[in-house]
Chains A and B, each alone.
Chain A
């Protein structure tokens, strides 16, 4: 099992550009999550999903969108990138325990 995979590993965006962060899991977990990690701030939940077709907002959803068309995939969309979205983004999936992907380091200039 690959577990949770994320692409890309790194990305630099210009202000106003858009992009999609990809997340795929092969553990057949219903629950998936997107977090952002800022220095000294721990992880903050952006969006989560309890199954295909069902998503909901977390603590910091502004500026992001998600979709969940399959159990395996949970992409995160940034429509108009802003410098405040410079962060490391982690995807996770779970039953009772969350398992994390390796992260995407995003810089918005």
Chain B
């Protein structure tokens, strides 16, 4: 079984400040890791993903995340945020794609990032 814990439910920051959204996971198998962003009244958009290879993953809108296997973490970072980054961010984990179940995702409960002027 897999689980995801997003350590902060709300993160307020000022514009142009750096931000880190924390995500820890547990899994008994190798994992794929994802960050999705949800803007108000919209669906989920993929920010970035780790499937294999380099542990530092770059995504859209200047975000990046680092896979740390020893700490079972996948924290999301951005060096300088904008007002437009205000949204809810979801961390998710899946195992490798299986014939009988696809890539079933387990989601964290989300972190609301609010960027203030």
Contact = CB atoms under 8 A, between A and B. Distances in A.
Main secondary structure of the interface of B (DSSP, over half): loop
Interface residues of B, number: 24
A90 B102 contact: no
Given A48-B104, A50-B99, A100 B109 contact: no
A93 B47 CA distance: 16
B55 to A, nearest CB: 18
Contacts, number: 62
Contact of A43 (B42, B46, B107): B107
Which of A41, A56, A98 has the largest number of chain B CB atoms within 10 A?
A: A98
The contact size tier of chain A is: 20 to 34
Interface string A35-67: 000001111010010100000101000000000
15 contacts: A33-B102, A40-B9, A48-B101, A50-B99, A58-B104, A94-B103, A96-B32, A96-B51, A97-B34, A98-B34, A98-B46, A100-B45, A101-B43, A102-B42, A103-B42
Interface of B: 9, 32, 34, 36, 42-46, 49, 51, 90, 97, 99-105, 107-110
